[in-house]
């Protein structure tokens, strides 16, 4: 999270170009949205006993368990050619990269608003977990959400990041969230399992093997190039970005003051 914000700040300052980043998590980590109430929605004692990391995102949305997944982030100026003014329309444009990435893996993904036009409107969330319902222009497969994204804007720059799960661990996710009682927990878990899917689910449905992580990353890299009509030059973090990220991690994302602030 600190690196994502460091990239946003560096772009605000004109020190880094628009950036697409792929990353993963070690250990598995629960991230919650900026507006979620940690003490009310997360069983922090159970989370720590299970060895799961915890962080609050600078973006909105609901809880995501980051384990076997490819995570992406995009930092780009609001005035970049082709980026719409509105949040939803900007999400649609940026999500074109995800759409094409899934299709390169042989997954017939759709945007959630397209699904709503052909049937019912996107469903309302049932729990604190992100993947139990898609937002506008998020990616779905056979009506099930397969990628979760959230966005923020600061001083003319957009940060959109999200989770592309290879496999979902509903048992662990629902073990570290709070519910009214055990019956409520089991009901919402069953709903989650019906509404959420991962790359592995999609490919097993066609008796296809799960590709290597490097192959999945390359599919989405090419997908973003195609979906956004751009050419991506590989790069690494600058010294300034690394130093800024370290300061943000120490002063913000690694502190209870930030992570438990609500």
Contact (CB, 8 A) for 213 and 25 = no
Helix axes of 239-248 and 2-12: crossing angle, nearest 10 degrees: 130
Supply the pLDDT for residue 114. Answer: 52
pLDDT digits (tens, 9 = 90+) for 161-211: 999 999 999 999 999 999 999 999 999 999 999 999 999 999 999 999 999
* pTM of the entire predicted model: 0.90
Which residues are designated catalytic? 130
The CA-based dihedral angle spanning residues 143, 114, 223, 209, taken in that order and rounded to the nearest 10 degrees: 20
DSSP states along 139-191 = EEETTEE--EEEEEEETTEEEEEEEEESS--HHHHHHSB--SSHHHHHHHHHH
CA dist., res. 226 & res. 244, Å (int): 31
CA dist., res. 262 & res. 256, Å (int): 10
Per-residue tokens: 192: 């989650």
Supply the pLDDT for residue 242. Answer: 98
Give Cα separations from 216 to 42, 50, 92, 103, 250 (angstroms). 31, 28, 21, 11, 32
DSSP states along 46-114 = HHHHTT-EEEE-SS-S-BEEESSEEEEEEEEETTSTT--SSHHHHHHHHHHHHHHHHHHTT---EEHHH
pLDDT digits (tens, 9 = 90+) for 21-45: 999 999 999 999 999 999 999 999 9
Domains and CATH numbers, the chain: 2-252 (3.30.930.10)
φ/ψ (deg, to 5) at 37: -100, 105
Supply the pLDDT for residue 112. Answer: 85
CA dist., res. 130 & res. 152, Å (int): 16
Q: Which residues, given as ranges, of the chain have pLDDT below 50? A: 115-123
Supply the pLDDT for residue 195. Answer: 95
DSSP 38: H
Q: In Å, how far from its chain's centre is CA 178?
A: 21
CA dist., res. 247 & res. 6, Å (int): 9
């Amino acid at each position: 999270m600190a690196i994502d914000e460091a990239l946003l700040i560096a772009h605000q300052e004109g020190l880094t170009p628009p950036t697409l980043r792929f990353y993963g998590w070690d250990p598995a980590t629960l991230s919650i949205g900026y507006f979620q109430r940690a003490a009310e929605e997360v069983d922090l004692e159970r989370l720590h006993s299970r060895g799961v990391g915890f962080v609050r995102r600078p973006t909105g949305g609901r809880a995501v368990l980051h384990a076997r997944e490819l995570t992406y982030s995009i930092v780009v100026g609001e005035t970049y050619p082709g980026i719409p003014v509105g949040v939803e329309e900007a999400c649609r444009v940026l999500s074109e990269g995800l759409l094409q990435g899934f299709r390169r893996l042989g997954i017939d993904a759709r945007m959630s608003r397209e699904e709503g036009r052909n049937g019912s409107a996107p469903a309302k969330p049932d729990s604190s977990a992100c993947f139990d319902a898609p937002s506008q222009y998020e990616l779905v497969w056979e009506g099930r959400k397969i990628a979760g994204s959230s966005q923020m804007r600061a001083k003319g720059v957009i940060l959109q990041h999200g989770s592309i799960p290879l496999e979902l661990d509903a048992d662990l996710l629902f073990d570290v969230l709070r519910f009214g009682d055990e019956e409520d927990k089991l009901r919402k878990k069953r709903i989650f399992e019906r509404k959420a899917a991962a790359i592995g689910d999609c490919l097993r449905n066609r008796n296809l093997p799960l590709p290597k992580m490097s192959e999945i990353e390359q599919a989405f890299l090419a997908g973003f190039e195609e979906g956004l009509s751009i050419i991506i030059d590989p790069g690494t973090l600058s010294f300034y970005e690394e130093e800024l990220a370290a300061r943000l991690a120490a002063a913000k994302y690694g502190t209870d003051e930030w992570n438990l602030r609500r």
